[in-house]
Chain A
Amino acid sequence: MLTEKDITPYLEERRGDLLRFAQLQLGERQRAEDVVQETLMAALNGGKGFERRSQVKSWVFGILKHKIIDEIRRSDRERRLGDIAPEGDEVLVEQLFNRHGFWRGETRPSRWVDPDESLENRQFWQIFEACLTHLPDRTARVFMMREILELETKEICANLGISTSNCWVILHRARLGLRHCLSREWFEEER
């Protein structure tokens, strides 16, 4: 069984990873620092009793997600932004579809080989993060709120002060972009 002595250095080592994620989600360094600090405190108090560090890992990330959600809900900072035409997206759409709106030959999706196996691969996750950060900022944030923090679209729209249809457009662009990036950078290499 793990003790506080095992967990403390482990959490310190992972602090940078947590911070990077929180900053992507919250945009500001200071807010990210605060949330990570709270998470580490909570983790230290409750992390004893686990058998393996990998269990601690998903548990700590779960705490961080909740703290980020609380912070998003608490703050109305996001609300000023209003509807946007997702930045940089027209370029992506033109890159993927021809002028009639059909897939260009080279961007047409083809089967991903064994995606489940990729989840076990460290390099896959590095590419996944790179693809996420490659999306326009606001697009990435809406997508992560939806798919990683697992908030409902309704709440995301309300929080960001954007309309539901704008939210759907942003999610569509995010999925197009991320899918394309993962195919190009990871799955096609395996073929």
Chain B
Amino acid sequence: MMNCKHATRLLSESLERRLGPVEKGMLRLHTSMCSGCRQFGVQTRELRQICRAYTPMEEAEDDRDEDRQGR
């Protein structure tokens, strides 16, 4: 069986390129048995969402108050 190091590499690469059918099959087999790698797959996608939401400017409390009132 493919190991977790290899499986996480393919999971990461699936965000960069289309995996081939053999890679996909091997990966599916691995994740069907490995909860750790299943979570890794979910979380790399969540990580992408987190990065898209990131703004480095720290929010002051009054921005939030202002926002709440504005809604």
Contacts and interface: CB of A to CB of B under 8 A. Distances in A.
Contacts of A57: 55, 57, 59, 63
Interface string B27-52: 00000001111011001101111111
16 contacts: A54-B63, A57-B55, A57-B59, A60-B57, A61-B55, A101-B6, A108-B36, A109-B37, A128-B54, A129-B56, A150-B52, A171-B15, A172-B8, A172-B9, A172-B13, A179-B40
A53 to B, nearest CB: 5
Given A101-B3, A110-B39, A122 B50 contact: no
Which of B3, B16, B37 is the most central at the interface, judged by chain A CB atoms within 10 Å of its CB?
A: B16
A147 B55 CA distance: 12
A118 B16 CA distance: 26
Task: Decide if the interface of chain B is mainly helix, strand, loop or mixed.
Answer: helix
Contact of A109 (B5, B40, B58, B64): B40
Interface in A7-63: 13-14, 17-18, 20-21, 51-54, 57-58, 60-61
Given A13-B60, A57-B63, A108-B36, 16 more contacts: A17-B57, A20-B56, A54-B63, A54-B67, A57-B59, A97-B4, A101-B5, A102-B4, A103-B37, A109-B40, A118-B50, A119-B53, A128-B50, A175-B44, A178-B47, A179-B44
A111 interface: yes
Nearest to A101: B3
Nearest to A147: B51
Contacts of B54: 125, 128, 148
Interface of A: 13-14, 17-18, 20-21, 51-54, 57-58, 60-61, 93, 97, 100-103, 108-112, 115, 118-119, 122, 125, 128-129, 144, 147-148, 150, 153, 167-169, 171-172, 175-176, 178-179, 182-183
Interface in B1-28: 3-6, 8-9, 12-13, 15-17
A119 B50 contact: yes
Nearest to A109: B39
Nearest to B71: A52
